[in-house]
Structure formats: C-alpha cells, structure tokens
Structure 1
Amino acid sequence: MKHIGVLIILASLVLQSSARDFHLDSRQGNDSNDGNTARTAWRSLEKANAFSFNPGDRLLLKRGSRFQGGLKLKLKGTAEEPIEIAAYGEGSAPFIDAKGHMAGVHLLGSHHVVVRDLEITADGGKTKDGKKDRRYGVYVQGTYGSISNVTLDNLTIYKIYPEVGSTHEGHNESTFMGTAISIEGRKEEPSSGFMVRNCRIAQTGFKAINLKHIKNVQVLDNTMKDIGGPAIQPGNVEDLVVRGNTVDGSGSSMDKRMHMRGSGIWPWSCNRVLIERNKFMHARGKGDSCGVHIDFNCRDVVVQYNLSMDNEGGFVEILGNNHNCAYRYNISVNDGSRVKGRNKAFQEGKILWTSGYVGSKRPKHGPYNSYIYNNTIYVKPGSRSCFSIASSTEGLLVANNIFHVLGKTEDVLGDQDSKLIRQGANASRLVVQNNLYFNDSILPETLPFKDQNMIIGDPRFRRAGGDDAEDYIPRNTALVKDKGIDIQKLEGDEAGLRVGLEVTEDFFGNPIVGKPDLGAVELSF
C-alpha cells in the first residue's frame, strides 16, 4: 500500500510538471526555436497557430513586440490547469495587428482559457481569412463545439473594422460590423462560465461586447468609448452580471464606417440579468440609444445603481414580452433629448417608455409586471421630455421616484405602431404613486394613469445640471427623507422580482434605515 501511495504522488508530480511555457518575440525570436524560454522564443503567430497546447500551458507574448496576423487556436484546458495567453517581460503590452484577419485572437471550441494583457487592433485590410464583412478583436466561437470557462482580462482593443460594410439598422445604409469582443455559443451545446473584465475598448464599427447563447457570465469594470453601435449586447444569455463598467459614446459617429445607433446595453431574450453600478453616457442614434434598454423576450432583468447621462434615446425603455423587470435606484441626467424627425430619428427620446414590440409584424403584447422605483431623474430647462405607455402594458409600478423635469413634457403614444396590438387593449394594473415632481404639470394629461399621491416640490440638489452623481444628492430633507413607501408586488403578480423588491442600500451604498427616502439617495442628515 505504501508503494501505491508513493506512485500516486510521483504520478501527480509528473502531471503537475507537464505544463510548459512557450514564448513569442517578434524582434529576436526564430520559428526554428523550441519556444521554451525567452532566449529560444518563436517569432510569429503562425508558429503558435500550428502548435497543439496542453492543459496548463502558457503562450507568452513579449512586451514591446508587434505581431501581424491573428492567433487562431482550439484550446482545451481544465479547471485545475487552464491554458493562458498572456505577456512576459517589461514594457508596453504585446501588440497584435489583425488587419485583414478574422480576429486578433480567435478561440474555437475552447474550454478553460485565460487571455490577458494584450493590445489588439484590426482596422480594415484585404481579408485573408474569414468573412469580408465581419471583424473581431477577440472571437470566442462555439460553432465547432461547446465553449466554456473563458476569461478575457486587461485587454486593450480598438479600431475594429472589417474590409466591407453590410446592410443593417444603423444610421448609415452600410455598417462595418466590427466587434471588439464576441463570445458566441450554440443553442445545441452548453456554454457556461465567461468573464470579461478590466478591458479598454474604443472605436469599433459595431459592438464593444457581443454575448450570444451562453450562461453564467460576468462583465466587470470595463471601459468602452466611441462605440459605433450598442456597447454591450447580450442575446439568449442567462445569469449575467454587468457591473462597474463605463460606456461613453455608444452609437458614435466619429468614423463614417460606424453603425451610429446604439444603447449602452440592451439584453434581448435573456433571463436573470443584473446591470448595476455602471455609467452609461452620451448614447446616440435614430432609434433606441438609451443608457440601458430592455429589448423583448426577457425575464428578470434588474437595472440598479447606474448613472445614466445624456443618452438621447432616454432612460427607461422596456419592450414587449418582458416579464418582471425593474429600474431602481438609478440617477438619470438629461436623458431622452432626441426629437423625432431630426437627424433621421424615427423615435422620440423618452424618460419612461413601455412598448409591446416583439419583432416586426408580430402581435404586440406586454411588457408584464415592470417595476420603476426610487430613481432620481433630472432634465434641464429647455429640453423636451416624453412619456409613452403602450396599451398592451400589463402591470406597471412607478413609485418613490424624483421627476425633476424643468422643460416641457409630452405623451407620445403616437410614436408607437399600435396596429398589431389587440383591438380594445388598455394598459392595465398600473400603480403610479408617491413620486416627487417639480410641478404638477409634469405628467401629461393623456397618459393612461394619474399619480395617486403626487408630491410637489424642489429637492434642492447639490448642483443640478452637474456631471457627477453626487450633484444629485437632495438637500431638502423635509421633502425627501422617509417619504417613500414600501414596494409591494403588483396585484396579480406572484413573482415580483427574483432578487427581491426590498432594497437595503442606496445608489452610493448607504444603508436604508426606516422608510425609504424619495429618489436614489438615502439621506444621512
């Protein structure tokens, strides 16, 4: 028995020592080397692409190196021994110029992989592999089998444009479909366990982060700037957390190849999504283009503790067949400024919008049981603000919000195509109560609801019109403090919110003591 134990230990040590490092050095490497040390590094990405890596192996790119082409690998690590693609040495991050290639890093059917500390660009060029009208910084593809447990960390990705454009729903007739990071599983295969964190993404023709047919996903602490379309777009994703990100300029028009339309994030056909503590700013586009909008066929999407600023499409947008979704404890500043008809816009910008849209030519229905509470909404003087509540809406609670709207307001139900809503439909189970308004004319008379306990007054923000969340801390204690109501399930809604309707902390993380205050901030004075 002792000998068996010794053999097991020896076998374990052999297995642990089998993992190897392989080095790439674009300046001093040589593809005839073994790659095992910095002194015997390979030179090209092509050499790495031709190699078969084992669990625990690391492919290390030398800092300061500049590589042409792309990595295209099928990697199968294990939970105990993931395969890493990373950097070594000192200096700037290894640079991959994937001009003319499908992706800077292309992972096919891969499991337990970490990619980190790289700089990637892929700006046009004659296509050498892949589709002419698609281009990626990092592409994790499940077409050739399931994918799982891939982490993308500390990547800098920018100027992602394919060779040619293609027809899409953007501002231009042709969009150059460049995406910085795309993780795409398949319906038929389980694809679970993904993380995108600490990445810096800029100047993409289409999306910053695309997620499709995957589950158990975290998108954490990334910065996205000047994105041609939507910054983050999950489709058929389950159990997603989006936290700590900054999106500045989705729907950007800084390059004529850009999509020029897009919200900061819009989940579609997703379940159990938490979007919290992010900043969504300066979204542009002829339609949608909110900080966050919840596209159709979602369930249990909670949008909380976010700063939403100057997104011309608006603040709250919930489309059809969405169930039990919420916006709560967010701060919205000057959202919804878009005017229909200007600059090709086909939708008005809106503070609050529910729509039964579930796809072109399909009967409209829902959304169902939406909860909008304890948000702080500021709109500057001279800016028109719109509301639109679809007659297909079934279950909507709006409570404890601050609507500090200083310009004109309008009901724009006519902005929606109601032809496919069942005849005679009327929005039902609407509970609107206990909100604070700057004056008693903010809610248009034609809306299908009245506030049951309208509070009128000035919350006296610290610096109304400012660019920081702290500028929207109220100073009018008597008007705001402990004036909220406890949020209950809507009548006929057995589910409420999966994460619970009760909230224990405010936008800034302060504990909620006693009755909630109005708006997103719990006052301590």
Structure 2
Amino acid sequence: MVKYWGALALSACLYAVGAPSAAFATTYYFNSVKGDDRFSGTSDAQSWKSLSRIKDIALQPGDQLLLAAGSAWKEPLTISKSGKANAPITVAATGIGPRPRIDVGGISPHGVAVVNAEYVTISGLEVTNDASTPAQRYGVLISAQDRGVTRGIRVTDMYVHDVRGTNARKDNGGIVFSATGQKLATRFRDLIIERNIVWRVDRSGIAGISDRVTFSNWFPSEEVVIRDNYVEDVGGDGIVPRGTDGTLIEHNIVRYAGSRAPGYSAGIWQWSTDNSLIQLNEAAYTRTRYDGQGFDSDFNSRRTTLLYNYSHDNAGGFLLICSPKRNEKDNLGNRGTIARHNVSRNDGTRIFQLSGNVSDALVEKNVVHVGKGMDVQMVVATNWDGWARDVRFADNIFKVAGTARYGSEIGRNGPDYLIQAGFTPVEYIRFKDNSYLGRHVDLPDDGAKLPVIPYVEQNADWAVPVFNPAKPDDFPGFLARHRAWMLTMLQRELQSTVELKASRRISIFEARR
C-alpha cells in the first residue's frame, strides 16, 4: 500500500513561491469506484468517474489531475494541453492503496499519452496495454508533431507492463518519445524519463524517434535524461534514443532484452546522436545473438561515451561499435566513440565487436572477465559495407578463465562470425599496454611476446541486487541498493574512484554541416 503525496507537494510548492501562472490553477479528481461524471470533479468528494472527462476540461497551466489510489480504468488518458515552465500540468496519484491503473487492453494505441503539449508531468500510475494479437501499441507515448521545440515533459515513477506491441517495428513498446514534423522541424528540450519500471513489453522498452537525423535535416532533441529506470523482459531493444544531442543515459537497469523480436537487438544503445553519455548502467541477460550485446554505439553518431557500465551474461557480448558505409545523405558513420572504465563479466560470443565504418574509437581501462568453460571472441572486426579505421585498445585488463580469441571476419554462420587471426582489413588499429591473463588465441602485438599468465577466477561479490517487477513498491529501495553496489563493485574492479561525468551538447564549432 502506498500513500501518494507528489502532486499535493508540488501544488503547495507552487503556491508557496507565488507562481503567478498557478494562482488560478484547478485540481480535478478522478475515482473509478466512487466517482460520478455528473459531479463537478473539483474535490475528492465530487470526483469524476471517467478519464474521458479530461477532453471536456479547458486545462490551464498549473492544473492538476489526481487519480485515486485503487482506481482502475479501461480507457486511455491523453493530455493535449500545455502548462508553463513555472506551472506544469500535472497528472499524479492521490490517496492510500494500489497505484491507479490504466488498462486499455488494446482498444487504444496508448495507455497514457502527451500529444503536442509541453510542460506536462505524469507520475505514479500503473499502465498496461495487452491484447490477444500484436499491433503498434504503447504504454506511455510522448508525441510532438509539427510544433517546433517542445519543452519540459516529465515521465516519472510509472509502472508500465504487459504492452503487446508488434516486434515488426522498433517505434512501439513501453515508453516512446517521438518528435516528427514534415511541415515544421520538431524536437524535445528538457525531457526527463526517470524512475520508471518497464516490464514485459514489445518491441522496445524506452525508445526515442525522430525524422530529422540527416545532414540536411538535423534537428536533435536536447537535454534528454533517461535515468534510474528498470527495464526487464523486452521483445527487442531495452533503451534506445534516436535523434538527440547530449542525452544522458544514467543508472538504468536493463535485463532480458532481445527476448522475442526477430532481427537485431541490444540492451542499451543509441543511433543518429551526438555526445550521448551512457554511464553507470547495468545491461544483462540479453538473449539474442543477432547483435545481442549489452551495449552498442551505433551509426550516424559522434562522440558517444560509455563510462562505468556493468555488462554481464549477454548472449551477444559486451560492446558493439558499428556503422554501414558513410554517405552524404543520412549517415556520417560512427566517429569518436569512447568506452572507458566499464566492467564485463561472463558476456558471450563477442566482447568487443567493430563492425563497419567506425573511426577514431578509443577502448581503454576496461576490465573483462571470461568465465571458466567459455570460448569468446574478445576483439573481432567485421565487415558492414567496409571496415573500421583508427581504433585504439589501451590499458584494458582481460581476465580469461576460459578462452579468448582475436581476429577479423572471414564468414558468417547465422548470428556468429567465423574469424581469422589478425586485423588486416582494419586501417590503423593499435593495442597498447593491455593485460592478458589466461588463455588467449592469436593475441595482438602488445601481448604476443609476453609470457602466458595463468588465470583462475577469484572470489568476489558479484551478487548484484535483484528486483521483482511484480512487486513494484520496493523500487526506491532497490535503486538505492543497486547504485551503492555498482559504485562499490566498480571501485574494486577498476582500482580507482568512480567520477561520473555531466552530459554536454555539441558546440557551435562542432555542428553537423
């Protein structure tokens, strides 16, 4: 049982500071059990019964919609009116009891949506959208179309589960933010998706969509933060923004991505972005080997940084850096990826994969554990309309209780690559001061002449905190325990203090031209 104070505290705060836009704000109440649509809706005793009453309200900045704990609706909740910076429109839960539940059962594409509106905060609800057959569906949809810059949207503390989307397309699933506009270039600014549970959804857990990602149409969303979310049992990708600049993806937990979707999936990744910062995340148990890595830095992107992440038990491996052939229309390749201070343990198949037109990549100061009996490709270069160029591996520690191999692609066998020794197709790949413990086959130059150092796995605390999404009330406690465990583990493995970074956007001097 949970008591919800968020919306009331926000209201008190706004009034306390004397925000003029909120001075005449109204609070509307909804209760599916005790409400009546003939009531005024402006007090708890006069609650409305149906969410459809929202369309009859001329919502103003500062207005609040409070949904009674223990209520349940089989209709969508849609917000299409905007608040202001100091007076957002707020949707929240109130009272003591289970979260208000919106269970649309496939009768609507979305359970909750913010459509062509800004300065909106939604929190504290349970959302499902299940049906007998797959279709393009969303738990929570944030959609802006032909409206320029859309600001100040918050989706926090939501419990989104059992969304029967289609695995035939990536742009549906748990929480999706979509900025499109053929008439007017559209993007988000100051969008935060934080402390949400996303469980058993198809195809994507948390995904961003944009149609302004080419050289001539580059209009990325800015100040996007995806933080402290738990994503489990996803048909395809766990977390994947598109068309952003300076996005922060921090302390998310993605487990069991790639569970049902055909084609290629990964745990946490981005594409068509600049300056994405992916730090302090856990990606684990990705099931597919078509990609199937915990993390991926994808194409048409620049300066992606992966920092202080933990990847483990992913079927496809730890990190993919990839791009098809560059062109003058919609792909500048993959430039300037940095993977530093990450830990990989018992990832399968391919630990580091360089696929296609990757350039100026740096992989340094990471620690990799390969378990007893495992046989993996530690570093593999593969062809995707070309090969990587200018890649450095430096000061990494490879601890191998099984077998690790190195080389470049000579063929495919389904999701797996056949490799040969050496990296001849790759232009200017360098290995410097890496440590190779255990059994390594076809070592790079910096390890080829060194004596073999036997390695046996050492006892250590790898018991990462677990969470049962069927019991969401413990989520705040889990997040605190998980962050503390991550910081302790990283400091132990890296033998250095964890120093997180702040995200930043590309400067005017670095703009795409």
Bucket of the pairwise TM-score, normalised by the shorter protein: 0.7 to 0.9
Aligned to 1:140: 142
AA matched with 2:266: S
Q: State whether structure 2 residue 372 is matched by structure 1 residue 381.
A: yes
On the 8 A contact 1:212/1:237 being kept in 2, the answer is no
Q: Distance in 1 between matches of 2:295 and 2:403?
A: 23
Report whether the alignment pairs 1:293 with 2:271: no
CA distance in 1, matches of 2:25, 2:142: 23
Q: Cα distance, 1:288 vs. partner?
A: 0.9
1:302 paired with 2:305, answer yes
Match of 1:210 among 207, 211, 221: 207
Match of 2:55 among 49, 57, 71: 49
Distance in 2, matches of 1:312 and 1:116, equals 34
> Structure 1 residue 50: deviation in Å?
3.0
- Structure 2 equivalent of residue 315 of structure 1: 318
User: Secondary structure of the equivalent of 2:294?
Assistant: coil
Would you say the 8 A contact 2:341–2:365 is kept in 1? yes
Cross-structure match for 2:173:
179
Cα offset, 1:286, TM superposition? 3.8
Structure 2: distance between partners of 1:167 and 1:211: 16
Shift of 1:278: 1.0
Matched residue, 1:330? 342
Cα offset for 1:453?
Answer: 8.3
Higher strand share: 2
| Counterpart in the other structure of 1:96 | 102
Aligned to 2:8: none
Task: Supply the distance in 1 between the matched residues of 2:173 and 2:318 (Cα, whole angstroms).
Answer: 25
**Matched letter for residue 326 of structure 1:** I
Provide the rounded CA distance (Å) in 2 between the counterparts of 1:142 and 1:247.
26
User: Which consecutive unaligned segments of at least 5 residues does structure 2 have?
Assistant: 1-17, 211-220, 324-332, 418-422, 466-485, 499-513
Q: How does 1:113-192 map to 2 (within 5 A)?
A: 113-124=120-131, 133-143=135-145, 145-146=147-148, 147-162=150-165, 165=166, 167=168, 178-186=172-180, 188-192=185-189
Question: AA paired with 2:344?
Answer: S
User: Matches of 1:397 and 1:166 in 2, distance apart?
Assistant: 36
Distance (Å, rounded) in 1 between the aligned partners of 2:242 and 2:448? 37
Q: 2:266 aligns with which of 263, 266, 271?
A: 263
Q: Distance in 2 between matches of 1:303 and 1:184?
A: 24
Tell me how far apart the structure 1 counterparts of residues 21 and 204 of structure 2 sit (CA, whole Å): 41
Residue of structure 1 aligned with 2:193, choices 174, 193, 196: 196
- With over 3 angstroms needed to count, the CA separation of the structure-2 counterparts of 1:15 and 1:461, relative to structure 1, is same
Query: 1:295-319 CA distances to partner (integer Å, 9 max, x unpaired)?
Result: 1111111111111000111112100
Instruction: Classify the secondary structure of the residue corresponding to 2:96.
Output: coil
Alignment-mate amino acid for residue 310 of structure 2? L
For residue 49 of structure 1, give the secondary structure of its aligned residue in structure 2: helix
Change (3 A) 1:378 1:467: farther
Q: Secondary structure at the match of 1:292?
A: strand
Distance 2:68 2:353 in 1: 50
Counterpart selection for 1:62 from 68, 81, 96: 68
Which residue in 1 is equivalent to 2:510? none
- When residues 467 and 383 of structure 1 are mapped into structure 2, their CA distance, relative to the original with a 3 A threshold, is farther
Once the two structures are superposed, residues 172-195 of structure 1 have per-residue CA deviations (whole angstroms, 9 ceiling, x without a partner) of xxxxx7511001112612321111
TM-score, scaled to structure 2: 0.76
Structure 1 residues 134-164: Cα deviation after superposition (integer angstroms, max 9, x where no partner): 11111011125343211101000000014xx
Match of 1:406 among 397, 401, 407: 401
Matching residue of 2:90: 84
1-structure distance, mates of 2:497, 2:123: 41
- Cα distance in 2 between the residues matched to 1:402 and 1:425: 23
Number of aligned pairs?
425
- 2: CA distance between counterparts of 1:235 and 1:148? 17
Q: Offset at 1:168?
A: 5.4
Question: Which residue of structure 1 aligns with residue 483 of structure 2?
Answer: none
Q: Report the 3-state secondary structure (helix = DSSP H, G, I; strand = E; otherwise coil) of the residue aligned with 1:303.
A: strand
Partner Cα distance (1:71, 1:238) in 2 = 30
Residue 487 of structure 2 corresponds to residue 508 of structure 1: yes
RMSD between aligned alpha carbons? 3.1
- Distance in 1, matches of 2:409 and 2:239, equals 28
Secondary structure at 2:271 match in 1: coil
CA distance in 2, matches of 1:275, 1:166: 25
Contact 2:21/2:62 (8 A) holds in 1: no
Structure 2 equivalent of residue 28 of structure 1: 34
1:386-445 CA distance string (max 9 Å, x none): 131247221111111111122233335124799xxxxx9842232201111114x51525
Segment drifting more, 60-69 vs 390-399: 390-399
Q: State which structure, 1 or 2, has the greater radius of gyration over its C-alpha atoms.
A: 1
Which of 253, 256, 281 lines up with 1:246 in the alignment? Answer: 253
Q: Percent identity?
A: 23
Letter in 1 for 2:128: T
Unmatched tracts of structure 1, length 5 or more: 1-11, 127-131, 170-176, 337-348, 357-365, 419-423, 470-506
| Greater alpha carbon shift after TM alignment, 378-387 vs 402-411 | 402-411
TM-score, length of structure 1 as denominator length? 0.74
**Could you tell me which of 231, 235, 242 is aligned with 2:242?**
235
Q: Tell me the amino acid that sits aligned with residue 193 of structure 2.
A: V
For residue 183 of structure 1, give the secondary structure of its aligned residue in structure 2. strand
Q: Does the 8 A contact of 2:308 with 2:490 survive in 1?
A: no
User: CA shift at 1:89, angstroms?
Assistant: 1.2
Change (3 A) 1:454 1:239: farther
Q: Is the 8 A contact 1:228 1:260 kept in 2?
A: no
Question: Is this contact kept in 1: 2:167–2:203, CA < 8 A?
Answer: no
**Deviation (angstroms), 1:167:** 3.9
CA distance in 2, matches of 1:216, 1:182: 16
**Cα separation, 2, equivalents of 1:298 and 1:198:** 27
Q: CA deviation at 1:521?
A: 2.7
Check conservation: 2:77, 2:111, Cα contact below 8 A: yes
1:426-445 residue pairs with structure 2 within 5 A?
Answer: 426-439=425-438, 442-444=440-442
CA-to-aligned-CA distance 1:307-343 (integer Å, 9 cap, x gap): 100011111210022111111111101112xxxxxxx
8 Å contact kept, 1:105–1:139: yes
1:465-504 to structure 2, matched below 5 A, reads 466-468=462-464
Give me the whole-angstrom Cα distance separating, in 2, the residues matched to 1:384 and 1:16. 62
Contact 1:247 1:279 in 2 (8 A): yes
Alpha-carbon distance between aligned partners in 2 of 1:37 and 1:429, rounded to the nearest angstrom: 69
Q: Is the alpha carbon distance of 1:521 and 1:414 closer, same or farther for their aligned partners in structure 2, counting shifts above 3 Å?
A: farther
Supply the distance in 2 between the matched residues of 1:103 and 1:252 (Cα, whole angstroms).
22
